[in-house]
Amino acid sequence: MARAEQPLKCPSAQPGMGDVQILGVISRDADEPRLAYLDEALPATPPVLELAAPLDVSQVFRLSARCEERKCTHFDGVDCQLAVRIAKMLPEVVDQLPACNIRRDCRWFRQEGRAACLRCPQILTGNHEADEVLREVAGVPRLSR
Ligand code: SF4
């Protein structure tokens, strides 16, 4: 199969999606959480995901999986609008492309290029730790005050 025919990968996936793998582990050594990318993809099997307990999987791991395209609220039929917002609204947090195990198939990179990668390590799947900007990027309504 030619590379162009490979399904693209979502780099902020949930358990239960297709071909789900561990993209990296959330590091909390600095002031803000950052993704430490795994050198090689690791299947996100139930025993691996259970290592996150008692925390939620998304507080410990970031997962990649097959992009669900039209089944995903972020997909507009052509592009992932989450990737668009990340590239437009968030600051760069690294100055070199992270060593990432899905780059050649990553939807965010295919769409937004380097701009997505330089912002990617700050993304946490889910929004329980997200500040207002990250919530807005994720498409979550602002909290009422
Ligand atoms: S670093 Fe770039 S290629 Fe890797 S998951 Fe993030 S956006 Fe995709």
| Structural domain spans, the chain | 3-136
Name every protein residue with a CB atom under 6 angstroms from any ligand 1 atom: 11, 98, 100, 102-103, 106, 108-109, 116-117, 120
Ligand 1, atom 3: nearest CA belongs to which residue?
A: 103
Tell me the per-residue pLDDT of 14-61, one tens digit each, with 9 for 90 and over.
999 999 999 999 999 989 999 999 999 899 999 999 999 999 999 999
Q: What is the pTM of this model?
A: 0.89
- CA distances for 99 relative to 66, 93, 110, 121, angstroms: 20, 14, 16, 11
Mean pLDDT of the chain: 90
- Of 51-60, 97-106, 121-130, 133-142, where does mean pLDDT reach its minimum? 133-142
Query: Does 3 have pLDDT greater than 90?
Result: no
CA 11 / ligand 1 centre spacing (Å)? 7
CA 121 / ligand 1 centre spacing (Å)? 8
Ligand 1 mutation target, pool 102, 112, 122, 123, most atoms within 8 A of CB: 102
pLDDT band at 5 (very low <50, low <70, confident <90, very high): low
Report the 10 Å Cβ neighbour count for 23: 28
Residue 2 has a pLDDT of 46
Would you say 56 and 128 are in contact if contact means Cβ atoms under 8 Å apart? Answer: yes
